[in-house]
Structure 1
Amino acid sequence: MDLSYSEHLIQIPNLCGAINLESINLQGCISLVQVPSCFKNLDKLELLDLSDCENLKDGMENLPLNIRELKLCRTAIEELPSSVRSLLGLLDLDMSGCNNLKYGMESLPLNLKKLRLCGTAIQVVPSSIGCLMGLSHLDLYNCKRLKCLPKSIWKLKSLGWLDLSNCPNLIELEDCTSSSLRYLKISGCTGLRSIIELPSSLTCLDANNCSSLETISSWRTPTAQDYDPQVQHKNNKSKGEIYNFEQCLKLDDNTRNNVFTNVARRRILSAQDDISYLEMVYPGSEILWGFSYRALYGNSFIQLPPKLFNINDSRFKFVFCAVFVFKISRPETKIRFRFNFTTSMYSSVRGSFNYEDSCTLQVNNNSDHVIVRYATIDLRHVFGVNWSSVCRMVTGASFHVFMEQEKSVNWKIKQFGFELANTWGASNILKVKRPWN
């Protein structure tokens, strides 16, 4: 039943004759002030949308016990009543934008899988959230009064997705290594100063503009379980990893030079056969150690020996690292990277080939940042079905990094290194050497 945006709807007629209703949409019914009492008899009702019922405040006790998805976004609810705890069929609860909601989180039903509390007035997440053993998705975006998280939240083995972005009063993340988080977003947590330890399971971490963040004490090395194919398919369909620390300018030297360096190396070593790309961005003025091919200062080109492409595996694995700086601010821009190949081919076949890809960054002016990118390309897509024969005929190769649609006066590559995983093998990729003079 769809009565959405019925602005003058004050009450719902008796629905005793509509006991087979499975969904009701009352979104935008701004005159509705409570959940109708007749709803508690709708045993087959699974979806109830009360979003944007901006005057709705009461009647939660009238919700049917078997409801599975409940949308209360941007309503006037101030407290979640204890009656909600009895909704054991409820799997998805969305209370985003309930600006007055402060209390009642202890009443959350135990079988919840998804919980969205974005923009609410809650200050504390109760320790009882650790009882929601099936919770997989928790969204606390823009909870500006949120000050801390309970230790019990990190023991939720099903919790794979946590958004804490724009929570300016959150000061510290405690040891969360016992969690199974794969996606963690803390961007815009301007009060966050320290992270005790990050779990090895993370495949996406967005900490952009954590302007007070000073230290990450430790970051666990990934285990075989972290790259379990079933887990990867379920939680990370793109099979890539992204770690973003743009504009975290207060990070200490240990975090930048040791923690990030070790994480990049170890994750690339551990995940070569399980991911197609890895990307890490953080403030810094030095590229990682151990790159055999380096560009001269300010140069964004690297010439590569043709023999590197005489390989047996069409999966071409490489790592590049660059220090870049922008002279102007941009909400976002793309760093593009390109391979150019020339070959000694028969006249009937073209003798030049190229491959190009990109990654997106959010940048501010005059701050040096490091990007580390591991990627895999399929040479069959570059050279065609006869890729192996073409590779043996490569006479010239180069790698180029540049900013999409940006004038060269607006940006600069200060350092640039490149490494081929296919040539040196997994055991030697990014091996540690002394820094260059």
Structure 2
Amino acid sequence: MVNATNLKQLNLSGCSSLVELSSSIGNATNLNELNLNVAFKRLLKAGGPSDQHQHEIFPDILTNIRLLKLTGTAIEEIPSSVSTLSRFHELHILYITKLHLSDKRIQEIPPSVKELSRLKELEIKGCTKLVSLPQLPESLRFLNAENCESLERLDCSFQKGKFTGLYFTNCFKLNQEARDLIIIKLTSSCENVILPGEKVPPQFTYKATGSSLSIKLSGIEKPFPASMKFQACLMLVKKGDFEVVNADRNLLGLDYSITEKQNGVNVMCSSENMDLSTRLKKHLLIFQCEEKKLPRLSNLSSELVFEFQVNVKKFEIEECGIRILPKSL
């Protein structure tokens, strides 16, 4: 490869015993198509001793690449640095588990994304021209669409699976159909949800102004189940103008407690951490109170008090809500 400066296409598909690319491939400065389908059990950095930096191969040696085929390789994650490849146009990969896209020029996610049958995490932060999301793979467990300011539609059904997170921070153009899909259909099967909103949705049976509320258990059949699953919704607002140390990120710590009102016994205390934009306006934070931390309630319990607190001064809880989830969820 030392003298292959004019090489434009290289086909190594099927070379399953290949474990690394020679650093001399960097001399192929005109290489624009590389086929590595079913070529690697391990992919090493060019000339490197281990596979811990496997992703660095992209910016190091493929500066003019236009087409890259990686189906059937050991690669499971494409780094964001691939966006620095100015001529990069087409990528073939089926077994990827994480896909992070962050580019203001992105206007569309191709429908073929649903064919990524092992994709678990999709991050499309800052894709400000993206208007809609296509059908996504059933394997997906986490979606972060923060600051997709033009996002209006979710042309996807999310029919199967439980999500660890669905983040639509600053997606103020989401239409009502998209909001209904998130709130009505998805929140019950998702651990954490963030989306713009100015009031707690009606699906949350118990609501109150401020950061605390109580729910009466008289309508729940006794004896209580071995564990009860609660979901909370907080309407979070930014207070005034605060000087922000980090203008982009803010780790929000959220503490909550549940107390039996009759005897003052603290049923549980827990906390959540969410990575939020400091530009956050009015948003809904929806999360599940961890079922594994909820002990069996006393049959004498008649009322529970929920209290919430955020540890960032610039944010406050304007309204809160609770709903009891079916045991099967």
Same fold (TM over 0.5): yes
TM-score, length basis structure 2: 0.73
The answer on 1:302 being equivalent to 2:216 is no
The answer on 1:420 being equivalent to 2:324 is yes
Which of 124, 127, 138 in structure 2 is aligned with 1:189? 127
Which of 259, 272, 283 in structure 2 is aligned with 1:341? 259
Which of 162, 172, 177 in structure 1 is aligned with 2:108? 172
The answer on 1:68 being equivalent to 2:68 is no
Q: How does 1:5-404 map to 2 (within 5 A)?
A: 66-68=17-19, 78=29, 80=31, 85=36, 88-92=39-43, 94=55, 95-98=57-60, 101-106=63-68, 108=69, 110-114=71-75, 116=78, 118-119=80-81, 120-126=84-90, 129=92, 132=93, 135-137=94-96, 160-164=97-101, 166-175=102-111, 176-177=113-114, 179-180=116-117, 181-211=119-149, 213-223=150-160, 226=161, 240-249=163-172, 251-252=173-174, 254=175, 257-268=176-187, 271=189, 277-296=190-209, 299-307=210-218, 312-327=224-239, 328=242, 329=244, 331-342=249-260, 351-365=265-279, 367-378=281-292, 381-383=293-295, 387=296, 391-394=298-301, 396-404=303-311
Preserved contact between residue 247 and residue 283 of structure 1 (Cα < 8 Å): yes
Preserved contact between residue 33 and residue 65 of structure 2 (Cα < 8 Å): no
- In the alignment, the residues of structure 1 paired with residue 22 and residue 307 of structure 2 have an alpha-carbon distance, to the nearest angstrom, of 49
Judged with a 3 Å threshold, the aligned counterparts in structure 2 of structure 1 residues 258 and 102 are, in CA distance, closer, same or farther, namely same
**How far off its partner does 1:317 sit?**
1.0
Judged with a 3 Å threshold, the aligned counterparts in structure 2 of structure 1 residues 281 and 309 are, in CA distance, closer, same or farther, namely farther
- In the alignment, the residues of structure 2 paired with residue 282 and residue 351 of structure 1 have an alpha-carbon distance, to the nearest angstrom, of 34
Q: How many pairs align?
A: 299
- In the alignment, the residues of structure 2 paired with residue 81 and residue 362 of structure 1 have an alpha-carbon distance, to the nearest angstrom, of 39
Judged with a 3 Å threshold, the aligned counterparts in structure 2 of structure 1 residues 420 and 67 are, in CA distance, closer, same or farther, namely same
Judged with a 3 Å threshold, the aligned counterparts in structure 2 of structure 1 residues 112 and 391 are, in CA distance, closer, same or farther, namely same
Given residue 165 of structure 2, which amino acid in structure 1 is its aligned partner? Answer: I
Preserved contact between residue 255 and residue 272 of structure 2 (Cα < 8 Å): yes
**How far off its partner does 1:188 sit?**
2.2
Judged with a 3 Å threshold, the aligned counterparts in structure 2 of structure 1 residues 168 and 66 are, in CA distance, closer, same or farther, namely same
Given residue 121 of structure 1, which amino acid in structure 2 is its aligned partner? Answer: L
Preserved contact between residue 285 and residue 368 of structure 1 (Cα < 8 Å): yes
- The percentage of counterpart residues that share the same residue type is 15
Preserved contact between residue 355 and residue 382 of structure 1 (Cα < 8 Å): no
- In the alignment, the residues of structure 2 paired with residue 178 and residue 82 of structure 1 have an alpha-carbon distance, to the nearest angstrom, of 22
**How far off its partner does 1:215 sit?**
1.4
Judged with a 3 Å threshold, the aligned counterparts in structure 2 of structure 1 residues 121 and 302 are, in CA distance, closer, same or farther, namely same
**Larger Rg over CA atoms:** 1
SS state of the match for residue 281, structure 1?
Answer: strand
Given residue 112 of structure 1, which amino acid in structure 2 is its aligned partner? Answer: T
Judged with a 3 Å threshold, the aligned counterparts in structure 2 of structure 1 residues 65 and 222 are, in CA distance, closer, same or farther, namely closer
**How far off its partner does 1:289 sit?**
2.0
Given residue 188 of structure 1, which amino acid in structure 2 is its aligned partner? Answer: G
Preserved contact between residue 66 and residue 89 of structure 2 (Cα < 8 Å): no
Structure with a larger share of its residues in helix: 1
**How far off its partner does 1:309 sit?**
9.3
What value does the CA root-mean-square deviation take over the aligned residues?
A: 4.0
Given residue 364 of structure 1, which amino acid in structure 2 is its aligned partner? Answer: T
- In the alignment, the residues of structure 1 paired with residue 20 and residue 320 of structure 2 have an alpha-carbon distance, to the nearest angstrom, of 50
SS state of the match for residue 179, structure 2?
Answer: helix
Preserved contact between residue 326 and residue 363 of structure 1 (Cα < 8 Å): no
